Amino acid sequence: MLKPSSESTLNTEQIRADFPILQQQVHGKPLVYLDNGASTQRPIQVIQAISDVYEQCYSNVHRGGHLLSSRSTDAYEASREAIRAFIQAKSTNEIIFTPGTTFGINLVARSWGDACLKAGDEILVTEMEHHSNLIPWQQLAQRTGAVIKAIPITDEGQLDLSALPGLLTEKTKIVAMTAVSNVLGTINPVAKIVKQAHAVGAVVLVDAAQSVPHEATNVQTWDADFVAFSAHKMLGPSGLGILYGKESLLDAMPPFLGGGSMINTVTIDSFTPAMLPAKFEAGTPPIAQAIALKAAIDYLTDVGMENILQHEQNLTQHAHQRLTEIEGLRILGPAPELKAGLVSFDIKGMNPRDIAGILDTQGVAVREGHHCAIPLHQRLGISSSTRASFYLYNTLEEVDQFIEALKKATMLLG
Ligand code: PLP
């Protein structure tokens, strides 16, 4: 874990100049965008990459025998290679373009889950999952008769690993866990849990929607079997995600969606599937989005993922310190050095919707609600919370602006 310091590791002034959307005012105040956990903004390099696709090389991929088609196919595959390198996968056959994290998890639950699970088998999730990594497993359990169990969390908002030996048995077929909680910010010990899961023969799916954008990822060090994440949370286009899967597992799995591109041979009543990764990319994919994701990855790589995590932890630490100035405020989740760049909180007697509404009038964009994690909020004894989530372009001054706006909100609501 990198040690937070008060000095910024990033040249935020230079970075912010790349993000046109951040230059605006909202409600007459400079925009302070702290809703990066929901979706980040895009630098001009990514916006330009999208427009370059449409201006220079757009065509369907892997289809036409003409120049534009081979240009767009080359760019599409170059992006797949960039993603492979970014998460340190062994092969581009392990990188599947999807519409997002949610889709990737559903793909595994349907394809791997329907083929491999039977009544009485167990699916192990955690109490801090986003609904995207909960509902597909509940649906799988409904289809197969499998049983869902959950790793509990401690009062400090970390996974209670002491419960793991009792929960992981030969009945456990899959562990579906988040790498970073979208509410608590907790960074979970993925490699440690994978090791224990593999020891009982279970596979592990990692919901990396909140980790790949914020910290360096090595899927081989994790030894995870499946990893899903979304482009829109890492400076990339919306409507695109990545599913990583170990080649041996993806190879053995039946295709999820049927249609064009995912076949090898077809007769009127049968087909044989294409090789990886095409087997899981039925139909016309999100072409421009996939190509432009490479620009986002290049941007993040240039800045450096270690620098980004360090910067976010500095912001989180500063936010933690300053939030103590507000009476009745409870920070959800562990100490800043144990979490990625976000802070969620509850203020006694105040509705997060009212808080976020007043912050908005001050130019500060945060998220309020259950953040698609209703069971976690139940565990925390609340129905909703307010979340400020940071990224590489946020500054310590913005954290201060957020705190001042929050003080105003508490005065108005108190
Ligand atoms: N998992 C986590 C931890 C998330 O934070 C999110 C989105 O907020 C998702 C999954 C779902 O991502 P998407 O909506 O891009 O499919």
Ligand 1 mutation pick, 97, 182, 289, max ligand atoms within 8 A of CB: 182
* Average confidence (pLDDT) over 350-359: 98
Question: Is 4 part of a structural domain of the chain?
Answer: no
- The answer to whether residue 3 sits within a structural domain is no
Of 250, 280, 301, which closes a domain? 301
Q: Are residues 251 and 400 in the same domain?
A: no
Helix (H, G, I), strand (E, B) or coil at 347: strand
Structure-token pair, residue 374 = 């209703």
Per-residue pLDDT at 401: 98
CA of 209 to the centre of ligand 1 (A): 5
Q: Find out whether the beta carbon of 111 lies less than 6 Å from any atom of ligand 1.
A: no
Q: Does residue 136 have its Cβ closer than 6 Å to ligand 1?
A: no
Q: Are residues 139 and 196 in the same domain?
A: yes
Q: What is the pLDDT of residue 188?
A: 98
Is 81 within the bounds of a domain? yes
**Domain shared by 325 and 183, yes or no:** no
Q: DSSP H helical segments within 238-385, as ranges? A: 247-252, 287-303, 305-323, 352-361, 374-380
User: What contacts 139, CB < 8 A, 6 or more positions away?
Assistant: 109
Each residue's pLDDT tens digit, 190-209: 999 999 999 999 999 999 99
State the number of CA atoms in the 13 A half-sphere of 273 facing the CB: 17
Q: For residue 182, how many other CB atoms are within 10 A of its CB?
A: 27
**CATH code for the domain of 385:** 3.90.1150.10
Same domain, 238 and 252: yes
| pLDDT value for 9 | 80
Residue 217 lies in a domain: yes
Q: Does residue 405 lie within any of the structural domains?
A: yes
CATH number, domain with residue 83: 3.40.640.10
Q: Is 100 in the pocket of ligand 1 (CB under 6 A)?
A: yes
- Pocket-testing residue among 39, 128, 132, ligand 1, by greatest number of atoms within 8 A of Cβ: 132
Task: Provide φ and ψ at 256, rounded to 5°.
Answer: -90, -70
- Could you say which of 164, 200, 372, 413 is catalytic? 372
122 and 249 in a common domain: yes
* Arithmetic mean of pLDDT, 144-154: 98
Tell whether the model's pLDDT for residue 11 goes beyond 60: yes
Same domain, 195 and 276: yes
First to last CA, the chain: 38
Q: Supply the residue whose CA is at minimum distance from atom 12 of ligand 1.
A: 101
* Predicted TM-score of the model (pTM): 0.97
Query: Domain residues for 384?
Result: 12-37+304-413
Verify whether ligand 1 is closer than 6 Å to residue 130 (CB atom): yes
* pLDDT category of residue 112 using cuts at 50, 70 and 90: very high
Residue 42, domain member (yes or no):
no
Q: Is the pLDDT of residue 405 over 80?
A: yes
| pLDDT at 7 (0 to 100) | 53
**Cβ pair 167, 178 in contact under 8 A:** no
Which mutation among 125, 130, 371 tests ligand 1's pocket best, with the greatest number of atoms within 8 A of CB?
Answer: 130
Instruction: Determine the pLDDT at residue 242.
Output: 98
pLDDT in tens, 30-81: 999 999 999 999 999 999 999 999 999 999 998 778 999 999 999 999 999 9
Tell me: do 65 and 140 sit in the same domain: yes
Domain edge (last residue) among 301, 320, 340? 301
Helices (H) and strands (E) in the chain, counts: 15, 17
pLDDT for residue 63: 79
Question: What number is the average pLDDT over the span 251-257?
Answer: 98
d(CA 329, CA 224): 37
Nearest ligand 1 atom to the CA of 104 is 16
Residues 265-294: tens digit of each pLDDT: 999 999 999 999 999 999 999 999 999 999
In residues, how long is the chain?
A: 414
Q: Which of 323, 238, 198, 246 is nearest to 87 (CA)?
A: 246
- Separation CA 153–CA 127 (nearest Å): 6
- Smallest Cα–Cα separation from 49: which of 241, 231, 288? 288
- Examine the residue annotation and report whether 372 is marked as an active-site residue of this protein: yes
230 and 104 in a common domain: yes
For residues 361 and 238, state if they share a domain: no
Distances (CA, A) of 209 to 101, 160, 373: 6, 21, 14
**Residue 158 three-state SS:** coil
Tally of domains in the chain: 2
Does residue 183 have its Cβ closer than 6 Å to ligand 1?
no
User: What percent of the chain has a predicted confidence (pLDDT) above 90?
Assistant: 97
The residues, any chain, with a CB within 8 Å of residue 305's CB and separated by 6 or more, are 214, 215, 216, 217
Q: Say if residue 21 is in the same domain as residue 164.
A: no
pLDDT category at 138 given cuts 50, 70, 90 is very high
- Kindly provide the residue ranges of all beta strands, DSSP E only, lying in 41-85, ordered along the sequence: none
Same domain, 124 and 270: yes
Where does a domain end: 271, 301, 331? 301
Among 271, 304, 279, which residue's Cα sits nearest to residue 392?
304
